[in-house]
Amino acid sequence: MVDVKNGNGEGWSPEDRRQQQLEQLQVSCNRAYRSVPFYRNRFQALGLSPQDIGSLEDLRRLPFTERRHFIEHYPYGLFAVPLRDIVRIHTAPGAAGGLTVSGYTARDLRVWKELVARALRAAGVSADDIVQIVLHPGLANWGRDYKDGAEALQAGVIPLNALHISKQILVLRDYKTSVLVTTPSSALQMQELLFAADINPNELSLKTLILVGEPAERPVRRAIEDHLHVTTWQHYGLSEVPGPAVAYECDAHEGLHVAEDHFAVEVLNPKTQEPVAEGESGELVLTSLTIQAFPLIRFRTGDLVRVLNGPCPCGRTLLRLEWLPERVDDLMVIQGVKIQRDQVAVRVAQTVGFAPQRLSVHLVQQGGIKALEVRLGMEEALFSDEIKELEHLVRKTAFELRQEFGVPVEVRLLEGPSVKAQARVPDRE
């Protein structure tokens, strides 16, 4: 089913869409209840069954899904289909040093291809474009999704690869890339490298920049647009859902349209877990409606959003959200990769051989690029008379963290009581 008619962006009426969402919600909850013990047990603990869902308002009666549940049910405990029906498996870093796993059926892959193609089409991408995908290793799964979506539009695609970003600049120029899919941080870095290499943006064929992975505030977008002579478009996605383009901008650039034919949206006060008042910001909670392999019920994203009311100038009737830079949890987002401080603490402990008592983890800017900074307070277990030994420890720790998360990392050793323990290694039974 397509959410626009006659190419003019006019979608279903709100009444028809709500009926469609209710029917899909009932099917999805039945699948989860029947096939996923985690969901069945949580339903039963609340005295609920899928038959109790008679309206979209009943969604509020259902239990939440949180990131920790992915670790607790690793690897396949949240899958709702037999493994023989899974055709793709995605893995990403999870809480406390663990892994999160999500899967796709063949139908799920088709759905995601259509979702990404829809979002790219809204940005004007067509068969005449050459689409280059430059994403961090932590978003490699999205690289495949964007490749599939762009190919569905018959655009030429330069897939995600391991080239250094300086080489990506040459590809951007020489291959006549017209559409670039990347994170705001990488876009800023590429902008700096272009000017450092004395490459005038007028030499490029680039016209469209798809920004993913993290919200880009308006001043940042304006600066990129002014320097690179492009139009920017924001896409919202989650690796846990799993995939990009859950919401996307149209040519009006007045908020992100949610793919409501595939997701039910709630915006809740993170403290009371009640719906926020009109115009207020709150935590985005998503429920999948069409995913077969990995259904999610009331997933707490941690992202802060605001619902934008009123019709969109583009004519689409899909719900619109403003994606805000703040979060309601302690996750750090670096180049689209979500990192928990406890994850960092676990990896540091594994590297140095003990759990540091004075460890803090920070999100910092390095030349306009977000980076992970780990501060270790000197303590007896770290002490060495050899400066070379301490330097080696710092380099090794930074290397291991870069390998783990795939983001820029700086490790600093500090003397004195200035480092407060922010992250801890979770107790293991």
Q: If you average pLDDT over every residue of the chain, what do you get?
A: 89
Asked whether residue 365 carries a pLDDT value surpassing 90, the answer given is no
Q: What is the mean pLDDT of residues 414-418?
A: 66
According to the CATH classification, is domain 1-328 in 3.40.50.12780? yes
Asked whether residue 382 carries a pLDDT value surpassing 80, the answer given is no
Run of H or E residues at 187: helix 184-196
Please give the single-letter amino acid code of residue 383.
F
Assign 10 a pLDDT band (cuts: 50, 70, 90): very low
More confident: 55 or 338: 55
pLDDT (0 to 100) of residue 5: 44
What are the sequence ranges of the domains in the chain? 1-328, 337-414
207-243 core/surface letters (b: 16 or more CB in 10 A; e: else): ebbbbbbbbbeeebbeebeeebebbbbbbbbbbbbbb
In the 8-state DSSP scheme, what is residue 425? P
Q: What is the mean pLDDT of residues 329-333?
A: 87
Closest among 7, 3, 8, 65 to 39, alpha carbons compared: 65
Q: Which tokens sit at 151? A: 């190919």
- Whether the ω angle into residue 242 lies within 30 degrees of 0, i.e. cis, is yes
Cβ–Cβ < 8 Å for 184, 211: yes
Residue with tokens 């846990």: 240
Q: Tell the CATH topology of 337-414.
A: GMP Synthetase; Chain A, domain 3 (3.30.300)
More confident: 137 or 271: 271
pLDDT digits (tens, 9 = 90+) for 349-362: 999 988 898 899 99
In the 8-state DSSP scheme, what is residue 5? B
More confident: 342 or 283: 283
